[in-house]
Amino acid sequence: MSRTKKKYSLLGNTHPAVIAVWAALHAASALLPTIPIIGTGFSFSVGMIFAPLAGIFFGPIAGAAAATVGSFIGSLIAPHTAIFGLISFIPELLCAVVAGLVSRGGKFWPLSLIFAVGGSALWLATATGRAFPLYMVLYALAALAMVVGGLFARRWLTGRNIALQFVAIWTCTFASLLGASVPSGNFLAILMYGMPAEIFRPLLLLTPTERAIFSLVAAIIGTPLLIGLPKIGVYVGPQEAAFDEEPVEDEEP
């Protein structure tokens, strides 16, 4: 007698057309109002929440593709939001990867910790970072969110408790924004604009607060989509994207 065995996969089963539509929405979101990053003179688009949601919905690989295409096109149609020029897609690409890894749990989520560790290394590789090492507390906070999300997010996302689904999306988004988008963005800002440590000191409390609010917005938008889209045949989230099933034969007694 045959049965099914679940096997982990990072690719997911969402139709490419759905991913393309998401990338288009991401690109169009660049036209939405921007939010200033206090004390830096920069701003970012509220559309950045599309990147972690892409990772959660489509997995780290397809989600990264959607975030890259959407962010790149968005930087072309709204260049005032592209603070790093044509490479402004890099933080959002990494953000989608981390959110996808954390949301899939299992053996994949520990890979997300590489980004928190790598962010710390990049920070200390700059004179600005060495002048303000306390800022690495944010990367430690991101690593904590990655651990919590990696251990519980998949179970919560695939369950029926809406409150836990909401918390899971918030956790995965917060981990990705703080653990991937922030360190890569900071490194590019220091590299391209020579931002001194004095700029980052007031951001020690402001940055996690802003990212927590953005994660809340992502959860408010993402939870209804996670619940509603499968009802119309559009399967998103780890319940469809993280497993492939293959038939196996029961062993004879």
pLDDT at 83: 85
Q: For position 167, which CATH number holds?
A: 1.10.1760.20
pLDDT at 163: 97
The per-residue pLDDT for range 176-220, each reduced to its tens digit, is 999 999 999 999 999 999 999 999 999 999 999 989 999 999 999
pLDDT, the chain, mean: 87
Q: Which residues of the chain have pLDDT under 70?
A: 1-12, 33-44, 239-253
Contact at 8 Å (CB) between 9 and 238?
A: no
Count how many domains the chain has: 1
Other C-beta atoms lying within 10 Å of the C-beta of residue 17: 9
pLDDT at 39: 57
Range of the domain at 62: 2-249
CA 147, CA 21: separation in Å to the nearest integer? 31
pLDDT at 253: 44
Closest alpha carbon to 241 in 42, 1, 25, 13: 13
Cβ within 8 Å of residue 175, ≥6 positions away: 98, 99, 102, 112, 142, 145, 146, 149
pLDDT at 15: 82
